Amino acid sequence: MLSLLVWIVLHNFVVREEENRFSDVAEQANRIAVFFESHVVGIFQYGDAYLKLVRREYLRNYDTARIEQLMDEVPLNKSIASHITIIDENGTPLMVSDHEIKPGTTASDRDYFKFQKDAKADELLISKLHMGRNSGELIVRLVRRYEKPDGEFGGVIFLALEADNITGFFNAMQLGPKSSATLVGKDKFVRSRSSYGSRGPGQNISGSQIWQRLEESPIGQYLQTSVVDGVTRHYAYREVPDFPLVVAIGISVDDFQHSITHSRLNYYAVALLVTLLIAGATFFIYRQRQLLFQIADKNKELEQRANEIERKNAELLSQNIELERFNYTVSHDLKAPLVTIKGFLGLLQKDIDAQDAEAIERDADQIGDAADKMARLLEELLELSRVGRQINAPESLDLNQLVQEALEGVAMQVEHQEVDIQVASDMPTIVGDAGRLREVFQNLIDNAIKFMGAQESPRIEIGAQRNNGEVRCFVRDNGIGIAPEYQDRVFNLFDRLDAGIEGTGIGLALIKRIIEVHGGRIWIVSEGEGQGSTFWFTLPENDGEPTS
């Protein structure tokens, strides 16, 4: 009976552990998809900007030698793209940077050439994946048309992006040999993939669940056996803003179940050992009962120590994995503005030489925006690292006064959005760090204003109530709300549900850290999109004896 109980308990424990692992995999896939989306946006924005620069210079005097000189002055970033090609109205290549033009080569039969020749307006075309004739590598073309002075079609200019440069980062993450990163166009053809199936590059994946999911939401997750290589994966996808592209991160079920199987065998081995010990103890019980009790006690102690050691090892492993993810995220988020700054510095120098005031201002704005983004990210990361290490001695605080000070910090936003602020009267006193808690209220109010949407009568309510020795505070708005499936993610580091709203994805993670350092907890309540949101958090109540 005792042995049966051990196996039942073990089975329940293993089931819970596996459920937790599946949840971790889903979160991991979503975080990497966020990196991937930002990475793709940076690459394609740079590529299109460089393409427009070459076209603008070529249209001044139709001199390919000048384009080669331009590319010496503003070198093409070879970690992103391989070459630039200029083609005339008949499909004849006039220039291929860093390559000789093969005799008799023509693009008149190519889809990208036909598309731009028939186009009625200037439109960026992202071609399908194929093997480049000059580079010998898998490439994706960014293609724009140009016109003659009389307005007639003059030809096309394209920039070749090497596919490996788009998804190569994923292979370095070592998430398993069967996991994948995929960039696919909305025409349902693959543009780049960290590995390719037996059908080769550029597959049509119209049979994937992703298209049905995209009709429901631009961001999401699903479980599916891949139509490319037959591997079952947990996918996290995101629609890429400003480009007809979708990124998808697929973590193979086999890859993460391998680690689950290894852990399960360890648990079963422990259970088998316990079962054998019980059987042996039963055999000797009538002869040496007292000795049996001693052995059982020792076994229990050893088992507890083994479990403790295993738990410690698991914690260390988890911390190392989280640190690696954090380091990758920070380096990636800092790389995006650096790529922008580097690219536009070259463009700025060219526009200064050309005395193009409008272009100079635009280049400077792009550089300034990227620098501001990097500064905000660094400042908020430093602030996040200081929480828990630099905190003032707790003191008794009047919540009414604390909220008023926080409102002064966001007065301009409140006035600009004409927000009706309602603060409860006679709120209780609390114990904590005044500066940090003022920051909590100020960030939550600012966050509520950002996510008001098109609300005609924006309103924010702030209040607090005593509850069993603690104080429950709330900041409630009537803004766009949050769907239930996304509410657990709002406090994750770098996880931004709406990439169109300014921010770094650190603010709510910082708030959560401050509340937890004060011994409290924070959560969100929202009935769904368009129903507003309420952020609740708890703080210690002032009992007249603040501790330090």
Are residues 72 and 183 located together in one domain of the fold? Answer: yes
Are residues 79 and 187 located together in one domain of the fold? Answer: yes
Are residues 343 and 401 located together in one domain of the fold? Answer: no
The pair of structure tokens assigned to 495 is: 């996880």
- Asked if the model's pLDDT at residue 308 lies above 90, the reply is no
Are residues 260 and 376 located together in one domain of the fold? Answer: no
Are residues 425 and 469 located together in one domain of the fold? Answer: yes
Q: Is residue 479 part of a domain?
A: yes
- Asked if the model's pLDDT at residue 321 lies above 50, the reply is no
Sign for the CA dihedral angle at 314, 316, 319, 323 comes to negative
- pLDDT, tens only, 99-114: 888 888 899 999 999 9
Contact 538, 521 (CB under 8 A): yes
Distance of CA 259 to the CA centre of its chain: 24
Burial 1-22 (b: 16+ CB within 10 A, else e): eebeeeeeebeeebeeebeeee
SS3 82: strand
- Reported as a pLDDT band with limits 50, 70 and 90, residue 127 is very high
Contacts of 449 (CB under 8 A, 6+ apart): 410, 413, 414, 417, 419, 458, 460, 477
How far, in Å, CA of 3 to CA of 7, rounded?
6
Are residues 235 and 88 located together in one domain of the fold? Answer: yes
pLDDT (0 to 100) of residue 39: 94
Residue that the structure tokens 């053809």 belong to: 189
- pLDDT, tens only, 5-57: 656 765 565 556 655 666 788 898 999 999 999 999 999 999 999 999 999 99
Counting the structural domains of the chain, the total is 3
SS3 83: strand
Are residues 128 and 264 located together in one domain of the fold? Answer: yes
Q: Is residue 156 part of a domain?
A: yes
Are residues 378 and 418 located together in one domain of the fold? Answer: no
Are residues 509 and 464 located together in one domain of the fold? Answer: yes
Q: Is residue 153 part of a domain?
A: yes
Domain harbouring 164, CATH code: 3.30.450.20
Q: Using the 8-state DSSP alphabet, how is residue 228 labeled?
A: T
The pair of structure tokens assigned to 196 is: 């390719």
Burial 118-146 (b: 16+ CB within 10 A, else e): eeeeeebbbbbbbebebeeebbbbbbbbb
Q: Is residue 288 part of a domain?
A: no
Listed residues 319, 353, 386: the one ending a domain: 386
Adjacent-strand bridge partners of 192 = 183
pLDDT (0 to 100) of residue 387: 54
Q: Is residue 346 part of a domain?
A: yes
Are residues 136 and 237 located together in one domain of the fold? Answer: yes
How far, in Å, CA of 161 to CA of 47, rounded?
8
The pair of structure tokens assigned to 362 is: 């635009």
Listed residues 220, 244, 271: the one ending a domain: 271
- Asked if the model's pLDDT at residue 315 lies above 60, the reply is no
- Asked if the model's pLDDT at residue 253 lies above 60, the reply is yes
Residue 400 structural domain: 395-540
Sign for the CA dihedral angle at 461, 462, 466, 467 comes to positive
475: left (phi over 0), alpha (psi -120 to 50) or beta: beta
Q: Is residue 88 part of a domain?
A: yes
Domain harbouring 405, CATH code: 3.30.565.10
Instruction: State percent of the chain over pLDDT 90.
Output: 43
pTM: 0.48
Are residues 252 and 208 located together in one domain of the fold? Answer: yes
Distance of CA 505 to the CA centre of its chain: 9
- pLDDT, tens only, 49-83: 999 999 999 999 999 999 999 999 999 999 899 99
Residue that the structure tokens 């992006």 belong to: 161
